[in-house]
Amino acid sequence: MSMHVRWLDERRREHYHKLAKKEGYRSRASFKIMQIDDHFNIFRRGNSIVDLGASPGGWLQVARERVGASGVVIGVDLKPIKPIKGVTTIVGDITDNNTVFELLNKLKGKADIVLSDMAPNVTGCYSIDHARSVYLCMSAVNICNLILKMNGQFVTKVFMGNMFNILMNRLKTHFQSVKIYSPDASRPTSSEVYIISKGFLPSITSDIKCIERPKNENEFYKRGDLL
């Protein structure tokens, strides 16, 4: 990476970091979901939203603002999330049936939109980190099969890599429209992209056999982008 690119990268990161603090958001990732929504018109007043890997709550704050008082916003994470007015949070693993049952109970139906800003604990070995990122996305797609309404929307983050097309093909079997987007709030040097999928078509079964689950479940840390 050249010094100029590194400088631009840090300037952008610092800008959104300061802006998040100034405007009361918990992470600069708040601006990523704002920009995604501004571009793709994700949120509607009264929507039911589920945010997977929701800690520290930056996406939850934006979702709460944009769906209004009549909407439902629920965040799920392995870590407790500091309370946000009008938002319900669940501490649990999205791959655990008990967490899914609790989520369905709190939804009292199904969600209009599922969000996922989940990321693995990075190891420094990009091929491993990429594979784990894809696995988390596949897990989120499985959750969509259980909690997302017909024609619902799904927004997920993934690290680019050689398994990216596997994920895209999977999404295209479940959604009528699948688009790739990189928000301005993302660092220029970041390998992350966001996939915006619309028009959910649920399948009869749900599985993630094409991506093997890691033997050590603690290798994953479902999280958002901290300040």
DSSP per-residue letters across 42-78: ---TT-EEEEET-TT-HHHHHHHHHH-TTSEEEEEES
In a domain, 189, yes or no: yes
Range of the domain at 159: 3-219
Amino acid found at 185: A
Taking the model in full, what pTM does it have?
Answer: 0.85
- Return the closest-CA partner of residue 164 out of 194, 125, 197, 204: 194
The predicted structure's pLDDT at residue 205: 52
| Both structure tokens of 89 | 């949070």
- Alpha-carbon gap, residue 222 to 92, rounded angstroms: 10
pLDDT digits (tens, 9 = 90+) for 126-166: 999 999 999 999 999 999 999 999 999 999 999 999 999 99
- Alpha-carbon gap, residue 1 to 207, rounded angstroms: 39
The predicted structure's pLDDT at residue 204: 54
Band of the pLDDT at 12, cuts 50, 70, 90? low
CATH number for the domain including 190? 3.40.50.150
Q: Please compute the mean of the pLDDT values over residues 181-197 and round it to a whole number.
A: 90
Whether the CB-CB separation of 180 and 164 falls below 8 Å is answered with no
The predicted structure's pLDDT at residue 29: 92
Per the annotation, the verdict on 157 as an active-site residue is yes
Q: Say if residue 218's pLDDT is above 90.
A: no
| Both structure tokens of 99 | 């967490």
Q: Please compute the mean of the pLDDT values over residues 69-91 and round it to a whole number.
A: 96
In a domain, 224, yes or no: no
What domain count does the chain have? Answer: 1
In a domain, 16, yes or no: yes
In a domain, 225, yes or no: no
The H or E element that residue 37 is part of is helix 29-40
> H helices of 113-186, where?
126-147, 164-174
The predicted structure's pLDDT at residue 57: 96
In a domain, 18, yes or no: yes
The active-site residue, picked from 110, 157, 198, 222, is 157
In a domain, 22, yes or no: yes
The predicted structure's pLDDT at residue 95: 84
In a domain, 226, yes or no: no
In a domain, 99, yes or no: yes
